[in-house]
């Protein structure tokens, strides 16, 4: 828990266990391991099921230092959170997580960014 002005703040968190990119590239690179192709995680804390409103961005280099956990204030969480995972090639995967799961920490067991999963018009 973090503190702000003498009060305890509950944290919501998402633990990323597996992230793999299925990008098609012209020159194959060495085989990338788990989470090595993750670039960015973007969150909408109160996703309405229609429009993604960007609330926070987390970069892979920072997430790697904290064992692939995305942490944010529980007080910001609405009914559901949308997480957008972007790989180093610009592909994305999306996951909608019910707000009540975040109080105990959600786990993304298998997130795969695929070519063609890019956000359009959001």
Tens-place pLDDT, residues 59-70: 999 999 999 999
Q: Please compute the mean of the pLDDT values over residues 85-89 and round it to a whole number.
A: 91
More confident residue, 36 or 33: 36
CA dist 70 to 24, 59, 64, 98, 121, Å? Answer: 27, 10, 10, 15, 25
What phi and psi, each to the nearest 5 degrees, are found at residue 64? -60, -35
Indicate if the alpha-carbon torsion angle 95, 100, 102, 106 is positive or negative: negative
Q: What is the rounded average pLDDT of the residues 15-39?
A: 75
For residue 71, pLDDT over 80 is answered with: yes
User: Taking 70 as the threshold, does the pLDDT of residue 94 lie above it?
Assistant: yes
- Write down the pTM of the prediction: 0.74
């Amino acid at each position: 828990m973090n503190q702000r002005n003498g009060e305890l703040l509950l944290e919501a968190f998402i633990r990323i266990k597996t992230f793999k990119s299925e990008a098609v590239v012209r020159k194959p690179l060495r085989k990338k391991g788990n989470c090595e192709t993750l670039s960015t995680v973007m969150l909408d804390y109160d996703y309405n099921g229609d429009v993604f409103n960007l609330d926070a961005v987390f970069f892979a280099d920072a997430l790697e230092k904290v064992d692939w956990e995305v942490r944010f204030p529980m007080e910001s969480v609405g009914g559901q959170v949308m997480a957008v995972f972007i790989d180093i090639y610009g592909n994305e995967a999306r996951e909608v997580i019910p707000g009540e799961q975040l109080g105990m920490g959600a786990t993304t067991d298998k997130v795969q960014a695929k070519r063609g999963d890019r956000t359009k018009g959001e």
